[in-house]
Structure 1
Amino acid sequence: MATDNLTSTPTLMQNQTAEPALILSLNNVEVIYDHVSLAIKGVSIDVPQGAMVALLGANGAGKSTTLKSISGLLRPERGLVTRGEVQFLGQNIDALAPQERVKLGIVHVLEGRRVFEHMTPDENLVAASAVRGTRQDMLRNKDMVYSYFPRLHQRRTAQSGYLSGGEQQMLAIGRALMTQPKLLMLDEPSLGLAPFLVAEIFDIVRRINNEEGLSVLLVEQNAIAALEVVSHGYMIENGRVVMHDSAEAMKKNPDIQEFYLGGTEGRSFHDIKHYSRRKRWLT
């Protein structure tokens, strides 16, 4: 009796080592401002579909510039990608204008909670929905935003300029969600907020990621908060990626613990000041 070939090629179900599809990939990206100042140098970052990834580093390390190279917001600041490429869903988007990138599904929440202060939260959300979608999409998306941010629903008729800093950050994220994005990029959402508000907002973003399948690229100086919600992180220093690992591995790294997670007890200011000259990941 003939027997089945038991050594045939494994099926997709059997292949457990396949890499997840990437929604975003930066390959060796270099950015120069005013044709002179080199801001980021050979940055490579991958964001898998449906993942939350953090880009960490000190102020001025190149984190915001990296986000602007993705959203296309470099040109108003006289910046230019001079090397490498940015791919979104497998498409090179270097030549696309910012509004075309939004239509593809990229949304960038800028640092500083930039909302229309003279308008109500409800009006802010409606204005953001004009980017794409129908009226039915707008109503459905607004209901979704209010379900994640019930505090905004309570304040929906107030003037946005009178909202608290945390409420304005919620509104900035809510406006971004109104564009029906596939990739949400957050630039320093914890800036100037009390720790309990940071924890609340990050928990909501994690829920949105889990429940809506929305990919998130989070730029943060607050490594403690960021590494609690993301799966992977990149550390950027002086315009270069100097470390990439899982969030758990980064939290256990002694250099990360010492200089980003507050474990500097017993260290002198002189040691901390010269940390960049001797950190182990550059040796």
Structure 2
Amino acid sequence: MSLLSLNNVEVAYDKVFLAIKGVSLDVEEGAMVAILGANGAGKSTTLKTISGLLAPERGAIRRGQVTFRGEDIGPHNPPQRVRMGLVHVLEGRRIFEHLTPDDNLLAAYPGRHAKSRYGDLRDQAYAYFPRLAERSRTKAGYLSGGEQQMLAIARALMTEPRLIMLDEPSLGLAPVLVKEIFSIIRTINQTQGTSVLLVEQNARAALDIVDHAYLLENGHVVMSGSAEALKQNPDVQEFYLGGGGKVDYHNVKHYRRRKRWLA
């Protein structure tokens, strides 16, 4: 059974604008899955649909179902979904800049267990991100962009998630930092068995660490498969990986016609 499953989900904003149109995807227990696509493809909306954050933006599911651990999570609010083991790291980090990393981690800790458990989780987070430990008493607003992204992920780990969803973690970061953070995400997946659903425009970086990927365009899933299969696909190479070499313009025109039809 899949840990997370979306079945033919359709989402509209203001009851008019269709943001995603019949999206279906699965995330298996312990898997790393990417959702790829350009700006406006529906990637972030898909994550907000799963975490329950559509309502503040006047969005709603019009049809379809989202299940987590075999349960329909439609009736559950965002805090309830977090308690079930589902956590969402939003685009833009959204840390508490006036608090220290220590205080950010404490704010995220649900407090359902003994105080010693908080200490264990904090130590584990700092083990993944040692540079945060060095700056644990510095106000988070003074951290670099890469350190703030590390803090956002570390804060999510304080909830002991079964599935962590990351929205554009590479945004605004230098390639060397992207490589470091993605390597840590992979380590978290391998050592803790935490499933990962990663939304990224940096398709090359995402496909290097995930097992499976979905390609969204205009709210539709237009392609899915193993990361290796997508890397080898000529359409993906041409439009998302910056593939060089001679262009087959017949295939490019066919692909563009398909994109217009989907729109």
TM over 0.5: yes
Specify the alignment match of 1:7 in structure 2: none
1:195 Cα deviation after fit: 0.5
Q: Aligned match of 1:64 in 37, 41, 44?
A: 44
- Report deviation, 1:137: 1.8
Paired residue secondary structure (2:47): helix
Q: For residue 66 of structure 1, what is the amino acid of its counterpart?
A: T
Per the alignment, residue 110 of structure 1 pairs with 90
Q: Does the alignment pair 1:213 with 2:183?
A: no
Cα distance in 1 between the residues matched to 2:255 and 2:30: 35
Which aligned pairs between 1:124-163 and structure 2 lie closer than 5 A? 124-130=104-110, 132-163=112-143
TM-score normalized by the length of structure 2: 0.94
Larger radius of gyration: 1
**Partner in structure 1 of residue 257 of structure 2:** 277
Structure 1 stretches of 4+ moved >3 Å: 130-134, 264-268, 271-276
TM-score (norm 1): 0.88
Tell me how many residue pairs correspond in the alignment.
260
**113 and 273 in structure 1: CA distance in 2 versus 1, 3 angstrom threshold:** farther
Structure 2, unaligned stretches of length 5 or more?
none
| 1:6 aligned partner | none
CA distance in 2, matches of 1:109, 1:131: 19
Aligned equivalents of 1:115, 1:272: Cα separation in 2: 42
| Stretches of structure 1 lacking an aligned partner (at least 5 in a row) | 1-20
> Aligned partners of 1:88 and 1:267: how far apart in 2?
42
Within the alignment, does 1:235 sit opposite 2:215 as a pair? Answer: yes
Asked whether the equivalents of residues 22 and 47 of structure 1 are also in contact (C-alpha less than 8 Å), the reply is: yes
Q: Displacement of 1:134 after TM fit?
A: 3.2
Q: Is the 8 A contact 1:103 1:132 kept in 2?
A: no
Cα distance in 2 between the residues matched to 1:24 and 1:134: 29
* Paired position in structure 1 for 2:23: 43
Instruction: Check 1:33–1:192 CA distance in 2 against 1; reply closer, same or farther (3 A cut).
Output: same
Tell me by how many angstroms 1:130 deviates: 3.2
Q: Please state if 1:175 is matched with 2:150.
A: no
CA contact (8 A) 1:54 1:220 kept: yes
Larger RCO, structures 1/2 (Cα 8 Å, 6+ apart): 2
Q: Which amino acid in the other structure matches residue 74 of structure 2? A: D
- Counterpart amino acid of residue 169 in structure 1: Q
Counterpart amino acid of 2:58?
R
Q: Which residue type is aligned with residue 129 of structure 1?
A: Y
1:22-101 counterparts in 2 under 5 A? 22-101=2-81
* Residue 167 of structure 2: aligned partner: 187
Q: Is the 8 A contact 1:115 1:171 kept in 2?
A: yes
Q: State how far apart, in whole Å, the 2-side matches of 1:64 and 1:250 are.
A: 21
